[in-house]
Amino acid sequence: MMTTSWGKDAIFYHIYPLGLCGAPFQNDFNKPAVARLDALHNWVDHIGALGCNALYLGPLFESGTHGYDTADYYKVDRRLGTNESLKDLIRKFHDKGIRVVLDGVFNHVGRDFWAFRDLLQHGTNSSYRDWFAGVDFKRKSPYGDAFAYEGWNGHHSLVKLNLHHPDVRAHLFDAVKMWIHEFKIDGLRLDAADVMDLGFLRDLATFCRQHSSRFWLIGEVIHGDYRRWINEGGLDATTNYECYKGLYSSHNDKNYFEIAYSLNRLFGEHGIYKDFPLYSFADNHDVNRIASTLNNPAHLYPLYALLYTMPGTPSVYYGSEWGIEGRKENGSDAALRPALHLPEAREQAPHPELEKAIRQFAHIRMEHPALRLGNYRQALVSSEQFAFTRQKEQEEVLVVVNAATTPVSLRIPLNKSDGTQLTDLLQPQQKLKVQQGHVQLNQLPACGVSILLINQ
């Protein structure tokens, strides 16, 4: 398949700006803009030093509350600043060599969306009654409106758009054109892509690439066959929720067989997505922080080692590089999306050594094409130990993780000539050799990691 090349080489940092910048939850549309986005200028160097070369930033546009209830696709949310604030910020990231991908929330809008307000005011006489899905004046909505309509996943605060309507498409496509040419964005993460019309997504992809040939498109897909979205003329990637779940539960359940099964099914010799750069993550703005999900915080280290060395495009959610916690509470996502400030966030890090480890993993990933682009082959799996190789042309890397709370020694089968040397990329002074078709690792530390370059 054809895919935008830079996505395969990307390491993402993910920021939910309304949260990180401490914006009020409710938008007062009568108040002037407050340039809270300017606070993100302080994060540019940190994100670059973490080894990230791409940023997923969003949602950003005028909305009523959490950002996914859009009111205006053409204006930055006044709680975050102005269009100029966003232009300046993206320019700063680009100057640092960091690409920027924004949220594209096109499945639904909020009740404050201007066309929906017109429908509420003018009813059957509104010019926009066909802009929304399932409008029915024979029934009332849960809000008591004179008409019923479709909401996303039963949430009527999120009004589903009729993406077949030519005027709706024109309005959305013109907004994207503006984002590309004025804001200079490098791609879009398409919210709720798994429930959107595939024809719309293909047409959107074609439109975006007409305006920016290297534009990168990722769809939020939780369940389903990712090949429905990633194909010639379609999206470049989808979210990898299967491995998201496997990463944490394999550690909590002392069951590396789970993540090993998924990686082999998805990316092995006969893997169904072996050529797809799926978007991999340990947590995001919709799920509990990984430090709150793991039973043993020490598992953060082997988990992030897997995230950075397994097939896919890795992403770090803001603050999780320090192991901060956050859980959904009473149906609210607020604890997942806290306000953070530098340098205080680093100084108060629950797991200060995790940032250093992630930097190391990022450096190794970028130095070795096998870890970004190579094929995948399982070498060993047991309940708490797991090893696999990644190979790209003449370069091959062996990754070994130990989830046990005690050191272990492992004898790993390796189809290499006796005497072949391996160098530990985390501890380059440590050399190993293949003997009788195996490599012997002695005393791999508790919750430890070894990333070994196989010298050809």
Q: Are residues 256 and 398 in the same domain?
A: no
Tell me: do 396 and 268 sit in the same domain.
no
Cis peptide before 32 (omega within 30 of 0): no
How far apart CA 214 and CA 257 sit, in angstroms, is: 37
Q: Are 381 and 437 in contact (CB under 8 A)?
A: no
Residue 46 token pair? 């940190």
In contact, 160 and 107? CB cutoff 8 Å: yes
Q: What is the rounded distance in angstroms from the CA atom of residue 309 to the CA atom of residue 365?
A: 7
Q: What pLDDT does residue 275 have?
A: 86
Q: Do 427 and 402 belong to one domain?
A: yes
User: Do 83 and 106 fall into the same domain?
Assistant: yes
What is the C-alpha to C-alpha distance for residues 374 and 311, in angstroms, rounded to an integer? Answer: 8
Q: E strands within 48-92?
A: 54-57, 61-63, 70-76
Q: Please say which residue of 337, 372, 407 terminates a domain.
A: 372
Among 338, 372, 406, the domain boundary falls at: 372
Place of tokens 């940092």: 13
Rounded CA-CA distance 372/312 in Å is 7
CB 178 within 8 A of CB 211: no
CA-closest candidate to residue 438, choices 395, 407, 409, 401: 409
Q: How many domains does the chain have?
A: 2
Same domain, 347 and 439: no
Q: Which domain covers residue 187, as residue numbers?
A: 5-372
DSSP string, 102-114: EEE--SEEETTSH
Domain stop point among 344, 372, 400: 372
Task: Kindly state the tokens that stand for 126.
Answer: 């509104």
H and E: helices and strands count for the chain: 13, 21
Same domain, 168 and 23: yes
Same domain as 23, residue 71: yes
CATH code of 411's domain: 2.60.40.1180
Please report how many Cα atoms fall inside a 13 Å half-sphere around the Cα of residue 239, on the Cβ side: 23
Expressed in angstroms, the distance from the first to the final Cα of the chain is 30
400/344 same-domain check: no
Let me know: does 326 contact 19? Beta carbons within 8 Å: no
One domain for residues 218 and 360: yes
Sheet holding 54-57, edge to edge: 237-238, 216-219, 187-190, 99-104, 54-57, 12-15, 313-317, 279-281
How far apart, in whole angstroms, are the C-alpha atoms of residue 319 and residue 286? Answer: 14
Domain match, 117 and 198 both = yes
Same domain, 184 and 273: yes
Low-confidence ranges of the chain (pLDDT < 70): 1-4
Q: Judge whether 382 and 443 are in contact, CB under 8 Å.
A: no
- CA 73/CA 63 separation, integer angstroms: 9
pLDDT tens for 326-369 read 999 998 999 999 999 999 999 999 999 999 999 999 999 999 99
What's the pLDDT score for residue 2?
Answer: 45
List helix spans (H) across 123-240: 166-178, 198-211
Does pTM surpass 0.85? yes
Task: Find tokens 């010799």 and name the residue.
Answer: 269
DSSP β-ladder status, 385-392 and 151-152: unpaired
Whether residue 74 sits in one domain with residue 218: yes
Q: Which CATH number does the domain housing residue 319 bear?
A: 3.20.20.80
Looking at residue 314, what is its pLDDT?
98
